[in-house]
Amino acid sequence: MAAVDSRPLALVTGASRGIGAAVARALAPTHDLVLGGRDAVALESLAAELDGARAWPVELTDDGSVAAAVAGLDLPRLDVLVHSAGVGLLGTIEETEPDTWRHQFEVNVVAVAGLTRLLLPALRAARGDVVLVNSGSGLTARAGWGSYAASKFALRAFADALRAEEPDLRVTSVHPGRVDTDMQRSVVAHEGGEYDGSKFLRPESVAAAILAAVTAGADAHLPEIVIRPR
């Protein structure tokens, strides 16, 4: 799926809900979209809502499936890649099994690196933008958040390395605080608290920051964005 000449093309992972869906809606007025994720029904619903959007259901941790899916897109260029897919599994060091560490890194780091690698030729052709939706936990680790924070620190390191290796690309790490999403509901339930989404950032606020990064003038590069609830 190549971009229409007058409209740049963006691929957004984790687009079925939360921040990813908000990013897709923010980009839709100016970009054609490939909506990546596992929930094919949700992706098709969002694609039907947005002009110039196509659902792209794929299991990002399955290397073979991802390679085949990328080849099927046949992208000569890609202007924007937003990595929004991720998982947040909490627990103390003592109670976190090795499989949890592996799964968290597989989704939050390895899958991101693998997809980016496959899309580098298209990104280079467009001198494009890569945006990685990180977390406040990618800047500071807290008790009970060890494996999640470690994966997000690693994601930040990946962004730093990509930025250094690919000077023609703009690479942005976005570190939001708590966001009103399904994942945040799980976090609050884990903490034993009562959920109040009004205390958190809206996904649309995070999407607005991402839109600012990818639509900045050609002379500008926003390498890191930190967003906190007021």
Residues 6+ apart with CB under 8 A from 106: 61
Distance, in Å, from the CA atom of 50 to the CA atom of 116, rounded to the nearest integer, reads 24
Q: Under DSSP, is residue 80 helix (H, G, I), strand (E, B) or coil?
A: strand
Whether 148 is catalytic: yes
Residues 6+ apart with CB under 8 A from 137: 145, 148, 149, 152
Report the b/e string of 123-153 with b at 16+ CB within 10 A.
Answer: beebebbbbbbbbbbbeeeeebbbbbbbbbb
Q: What are phi and psi of 226, to 5 degrees?
A: -115, 125
Distance, in Å, from the CA atom of 144 to the CA atom of 60, rounded to the nearest integer, reads 26
Is 79:3 a contact under the CB 8 Å cutoff? yes
Q: Under DSSP, is residue 177 helix (H, G, I), strand (E, B) or coil?
A: coil
Residues 6+ apart with CB under 8 A from 6: none
Residue from 115, 132, 137, 148 carrying the catalytic annotation: 148
Residue 68, CA atoms < 13 Å, CB-side half-sphere: 8
Estimate the crossing angle of helix 18-27 against helix 203-214, to 10 degrees: 50
Which residues are part of the catalytic machinery?
A: 148
